[in-house]
Structure 1
Amino acid sequence: MAVFPASGTTPVSKFIPEIWASELLIPLHEELVLASPICVNNDYEGEISGPGDQVHINSLTRPTVVDYTRNADVNAQLLDTEDQILAIDHGKAFAFAVDDVDRIQSAGGELIFKATEESIQALRVAADAYVGAKMVAGALAANKKTFTVGTDDVFNALVDYGVILDNADVPLWKRFAVVKPEIKAAMLKHDRFVASSYGSAIPIQNGVIGSLAGFTIAVTPHLPSGVEMIVGSPAACTYGDNLVSLESFRHPTKFAHVVRGLHVAGAKVTRPEALIVASTA
């Protein structure tokens, strides 16, 4: 994980907004689960400049494949696209003040470092909850399933969900299942579970703990209420975010520095057939 701010600097006195924003986003993206590239695509992220933006997504309609006979003409089909809008409707801000005395006593900005870490976690929880709500709202009614909790029950549910995705022509590559900790416990007991970095010295990023039944398994306690598992492909949902504002300034009435930032994001389910939302029966 990136160290923020860089070791050996005094954060407030060497504040450069662009560098700070970049360094803050790196550990944030490493902590995301539902909003990470494991579960969503970031095809339109570079087009986000601020809250209230609307990004137009031109989804290509699949060309028709025709039979071919020798010496026959093949007529070119005009490509067709469907315009969808990615609304940047998620905005979260953080702000904290560090008293001059505390800053001096904290050996070069330790308080600012700790406060920034806490801000990252708060932004991550908010972003994952936001994407989860979008996924639940955008999933097809037919793809909202129930399952029972048990070692074989969870495995069998994943196998069945894989069939649903197969029949929807969803690519096998990069399929994911994000589960709550209670479901993770059942998965870890299954003899077909293949551990990733779980139990090793390698840090777990984006909640990934291993694989089961052809799915990359990630865990988070921040799934929407009543949902224990979200399964699918990153092709199903697009997500983009940006730290559009980050600044430091003197507190108007105290001997302190204020650091504050604004994080905005947008998410949209563009291929609902590639997403399954599951609850326990």
Structure 2
Amino acid sequence: MAITNAIPALWSAKILTQFQEATIFAGLANREYEGEAKGGNTVNITGIEPIAIKDYKAAGRTTTADEVTDTGIDLLIDQEKSFDFFVDDIDAAQAKPNLMSAYTKSAADGLAEDTDKFLSSLLIAEGTAVTAGAPATDGATAWNVIRDLKKAMMKSSIPADQRVFVANAEFAALLDENDSKLMKANESATTAGLRNASYGKLLTFDSYSSENLPETTKPQIVAWHRSALAYASQIEKTEAMRAQNKFADRLRGLHVYGGKVIRPNAVFHWTAA
């Protein structure tokens, strides 16, 4: 259907686009296994079992070799999402901006947001729920929940580097409530694409906020080591063509991806009751 609001009026040189949630989780995932991610493929990830440490002296200063063992984890590329739209030639002719580019960006943003929601749901589903010392009801108790997440990390011997957490708007609002020193986004050591959503470094965590977490009405926060979440993605097909039965340009694309929590012991989360 044509964009009828454009006829016969002149279009503005600017396009009003919809706000979409900034993507966070895909940028914080482990993508070293990506390779050739195509629909239906499986990425095989090999893990190793820890080597036993023995008391050499107690064994009479003799030693025997152990057989090494490994574990296998499958990262299934089982998510397939598409977009398909056309822009009528008449609409495009009246619009000074490039409508096709604007709608293509909208499709890309939508695919990225879909991925973020998928990954955040995986973390919540497969991680460990932490019982906080007290519910998070203000800035101080929200800080203590982060402290309890850090404690859980330490108890599981999770390395201090590459720890991250993402909080939803309800939890982030508690951090914003009392202590402005938490809001040092300009000092965060992050990439430019994530900086606007960053709270900087808090209690060993690189910290972020996002509304792509599953819970949107109660405070929720998830913390993990970046190696714990594997993600593989590819835009498998993009096709530009002329639409049938219309004077219009058509664009469609297919995004295939998969994600898996490959270190569940390195993922912890808390959600308000």
In the superposition, the TM-score normalised over structure 1's length comes to 0.78
1: CA distance between counterparts of 2:148 and 2:130?
13
Match of 2:223 in 1: 231
Change (3 A) 1:193 1:74: farther
The structural deviation recorded for 1:57 is: 1.3
Which among 261, 266, 269 is matched to residue 261 of structure 2? Answer: 269
Match of 1:63 in 2: 51
Match of 2:239 in 1: 247
Which among 207, 212, 219 is matched to residue 217 of structure 1? Answer: 207
The structural deviation recorded for 1:196 is: 2.3
Q: 5+ unaligned residues in a row in structure 2: which ranges?
A: 1-21
Which among 169, 189, 199 is matched to residue 181 of structure 1? Answer: 169
Question: Aligned letter for 1:221?
Answer: E
Which among 148, 151, 155 is matched to residue 163 of structure 1? Answer: 151
Q: Does the 8 Å CA contact 1:90/1:130 hold for their aligned counterparts?
A: no
The structural deviation recorded for 1:148 is: 1.9
The structural deviation recorded for 1:79 is: 2.7
In the alignment of these two chains, the number of paired residues is 243
2: CA distance between counterparts of 1:205 and 1:128?
13
Render the CA deviation track for 1:135-156: whole Å, top value 9, x for unaligned: 122123xx34453231111111
2: CA distance between counterparts of 1:198 and 1:90?
36
2: CA distance between counterparts of 1:119 and 1:177?
27
Match of 1:98 in 2: 87
Residue 99 (structure 2) pairs with residue 111 (structure 1): yes
2: CA distance between counterparts of 1:197 and 1:240?
30
Question: Aligned letter for 1:33?
Answer: I
Tell me the SS of whatever aligns to 1:268: strand
The structural deviation recorded for 1:222 is: 1.5
Render the CA deviation track for 1:224-244: whole Å, top value 9, x for unaligned: 136711111112221111101
Residue 140 (structure 2) pairs with residue 152 (structure 1): yes
Tell me the SS of whatever aligns to 1:197: helix
2: CA distance between counterparts of 1:267 and 1:176?
17
Match of 2:17 in 1: none
Question: Aligned letter for 2:26?
Answer: A
Render the CA deviation track for 1:19-49: whole Å, top value 9, x for unaligned: xxxxxxxxxxxx531222x2x211211131x
Residue 269 (structure 2) pairs with residue 280 (structure 1): no
Question: Aligned letter for 2:247?
Answer: F
Q: 5+ unaligned residues in a row in structure 1: which ranges?
A: 1-30
State, as a whole percentage, how many aligned pairs show the same letter: 24
Match of 2:24 in 1: 33
Q: Does the 8 Å CA contact 1:97/1:256 hold for their aligned counterparts?
A: yes
Question: Aligned letter for 2:253?
Answer: G
Q: Does the 8 Å CA contact 1:168/1:274 hold for their aligned counterparts?
A: yes
In the superposition, the TM-score normalised over structure 2's length comes to 0.80
Change (3 A) 1:186 1:271: same
Question: Aligned letter for 2:156?
Answer: A
